[in-house]
């Protein structure tokens, strides 16, 4: 479940002007705690499962290294996804600012005298 599924933030009262600031998704404390507890429980239970497998030490070590590799890869992937989303948001805000500036410079009611 993503942070987008959480309850949205209350929007400020409309001030009559045009607001170009997008609302940022807000991760609730409950969602953060649930994700942390879930991660901790899954890693702990896999660790216990590997420790109590009826196999040799070399196979246990291989499985433990595999789990650690999977966990670090998941962290790296999540960081890359987050960075890409932030990069997209920044580009979008810059494009919006350029468009706002261009529209502000245009006076559609101006009549050119020939």
- From first to last of the 114 residues of the chain, give the pLDDT tens digit: 555 555 445 544 444 455 555 566 677 889 889 989 999 999 999 999 999 999 999 999 999 999 999 999 999 999 998 888 888 887 788 888 888 888 777 767 766 666
Does any domain span residue 13?
Answer: no
Residue numbers of the domain that contains 89: 28-105
**How many domains is the chain partitioned into structurally?**
1
Asked if residue 91 is part of any domain, the answer here is yes
**Angular region, 76: left φ>0, alpha ψ -120 to 50, beta rest:** alpha
Residue 34 lies in a domain: yes
Residue 20 lies in a domain: no
Q: Alpha-carbon distance 65 to 70, whole Å?
A: 9
Is the four-CA dihedral 90, 91, 95, 96 of positive or negative sign?
A: negative
Helix axes 57-105, 29-51, angle to 10 degrees: 160
- Residue 36 C-alpha from the chain's centroid: 15
- pLDDT for residue 63: 95
Does residue 60 lie in a domain region? yes
Within a domain: 14: no
Give Dmax over CA atoms of the chain in angstroms: 93
Measured distance CA(75)–CA(81) in Å, rounded: 10
Residue 48 has a pLDDT of: 95
Give the model's pLDDT for residue 95. Answer: 81
Evaluate whether residue 23 is within a structural domain: no
pTM assigned to the model: 0.56
Domain assignment present for 55: yes
Torsions phi, psi of 111, nearest 5? -110, 125
């Amino acid at each position: 479940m993503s942070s987008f599924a959480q309850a949205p933030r209350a929007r400020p009262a409309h001030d009559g002007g045009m607001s170009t600031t997008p609302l940022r998704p807000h991760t609730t404390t409950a969602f953060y705690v649930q994700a942390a507890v879930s991660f901790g429980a899954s890693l702990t239970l896999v660790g216990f499962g590997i420790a109590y497998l009826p196999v040799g030490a070399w196979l246990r070590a291989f499985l433990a290294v595999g789990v650690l590799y999977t966990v670090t890869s998941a962290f790296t992937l999540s960081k890359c996804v987050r960075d890409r989303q932030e990069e997209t948001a920044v580009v979008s805000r810059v494009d919006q600012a350029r468009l706002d500036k261009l529209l502000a410079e245009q006076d559609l009611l101006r009549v050119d005298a020939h």
